Amino acid sequence: MMNKAEQITGSEVLLRGLLAEGVECVFGYPGGNVLYIYDAMVGNPDFKHILTRHEQGAIHAADGYARSTGKVGVCLATSGPGATNLVTGIATAYMDSVPIVVITGNVPTAVMGTDAFQEADIVSITMPITKHGYLVRDVHDLPRIIQEAFYIANTGRKGPVLIDIPKDVSNQLMRIQPSGPIQLRGYKGAPQPDRTEVDKLIQAITESEKPVIIAGGGVVHSNASQELIAFADRTRIPVTTTLQGLGGFPSAHELWLGMPGMHGTYAANTAIQNADLIISIGSRFDDRVTMRLDGFAPQAKKVAHIDIDPAEIGKNVRTDIACIGDIQAVLAYAITKAGPARSGSWIEEIVNNKTRYPLQYKDSDTVLKPQYVLEMISETTNGEAIITTDVGQHQMWTAQFYKFNHPRSLLTSGGLGTMGYGFPSAIGAQIGNPDRLVVSINGDGGMQMCAQELAVCAIHNIPVKIVVINNQVLGMVKQWQELIHDNRLSHIELAGSPDFVKLAEAYGVRGLRAGTKQEALEAWQEALRTLGPVLVEFTVPSEENVYPMVFSGDTLDQMKLGDMA
């Protein structure tokens, strides 16, 4: 039992508070204004901290941990540049509704506002990209703030919360007192579903002949995958899953259409454009999904939206039926009342479209195609791995050709599109899932943005399998310049990139390379057999593009099929 009269520093309060919240690991980078916090870690065997090689690596690792486990990720950095180096990762988590508690140091309160060394008003800087931000001016507030931060981050629409601790506060003494219940004026988590609206949805389903479900990341965040499957089975409604929703509905299911949007499948996009009822479940009608808004789902008589965040209702697409609440709770009720739609002929039409226009590419026996690599990884892992990606062409090929079976199996920056996210997020995912295979798929551009985190894998023997799809070019930028900007290629060559095998070996990570199908299979199997971390570089041609593609300003049915035609 803890002595109630015991006096401890703010730093010790922080560490004990994090352990009380069940934090398994903190990813961080020390500096002058968090030295008391790091000093408190000395001799504390219960507190696990991983030193990344850049603050951005720390927050992306915390993000990957959170997405893959459903728990709150935690990262720690010092003031000024340490804190500002976290901004991109905070925005990444905010855009994709990922629960993270971000802890930063600040200059002592006596010099705040004087432009002191390494001072930055990080609370104000991050206000638009956090659910809430705290500046701790009194150590006695810290226990309450820690509890509130975790509660806010992981309830309602989840997201990052910032705790900024001045250096003197981290060294202030306080007597430990039992914490009271959390009371937050004006803050509500998930509202109770309005059953009247759900009943309207059920009625609309019974009248529908061409319904489509668009399932997004909210299905994954609310752990509602099983409810979605049951709902789709009961109503006989086809399901398309957004980039963030991949895995929330199994790819092998007969009603799955693939991914919608800019690089979505023919079956998914065509279904949306011809549907008489659109049901968005945890999807925010992102512009990469809807494309030209005034041409989105033109045949839909009704649009229903199930979401935990009222602000998303009607924000981008008109909403006729609004089911606000936790998706798991909404679907659990809906399942008890739902019956089948009149969708028999509709499903036959969709199955026919899937058969006529499957995702495909022009394979080769002489060069290694990136799509083949993704198919190979999917088949050899049976779709059971946790996959992280960076951003670009390889991200879209992963979404298209890897067959996800489970939620929380794809970790990728969707809303912000952050290059450099893929590799460090895999480190966090592996820490949170030590018994799972974690594969990080990167382009040669994004890999160089956080390649220094190879040191973390080597030192801690974190067995992430690191894939580099090396086409020596910024592939997605090239694709846009080629197709939209009349092939005016500008500053996209990455030919001066390092030898990734040697780079991995320099950090103490095994490196392998493949440039043919046979080499690819052999190298990948060797990577899977290796117990520790391995980097495999797949050299692929720079000419490959991602298809289908819908150009900006076009509607979903104006797909360019490319190699699929």
Instruction: Give me the active site residues, please.
Output: 55, 117-118, 167, 476
Residue 492: how many CB atoms within 10 A of its CB?
18
Question: Are 283 and 217 spatial neighbours (Cβ–Cβ below 8 Å)?
Answer: yes
Kindly tell me the burial class for residue 374, based on how many C-beta atoms sit within 10 Å of its own C-beta (0-12, 13-18, 19 or more).
Answer: buried
Q: Residue 104's beta-bridge partner residues?
A: 77, 164
Question: Are 86 and 104 spatial neighbours (Cβ–Cβ below 8 Å)?
Answer: yes
Show the 3-state SS of 292-348.
CHHHCCCCCCEEEEEECCHHHCCCCCCCCEEEECCHHHHHHHHHHHCCCCCCHHHHH
**What is the residue type of 249?**
F
Distance CA(286)–CA(250), nearest Å, equals 22
**What is the residue type of 296?**
F
Half-sphere exposure of 333 (CA within 13 A, CB side): 19
Q: What does DSSP assign to residue 250?
A: -
The CA-based dihedral angle spanning residues 290, 291, 295, 298, taken in that order and rounded to the nearest 10 degrees: -20
Distance CA(259)–CA(269), nearest Å, equals 8
Main-chain dihedrals φ then ψ at residue 123, nearest 5 degrees: -65, -45
**What is the residue type of 105?**
G
Residue 22: how many CB atoms within 10 A of its CB?
9
Distance CA(457)–CA(451), nearest Å, equals 11
Q: What is the DSSP string of 5-16?
A: T-EEEHHHHHHH
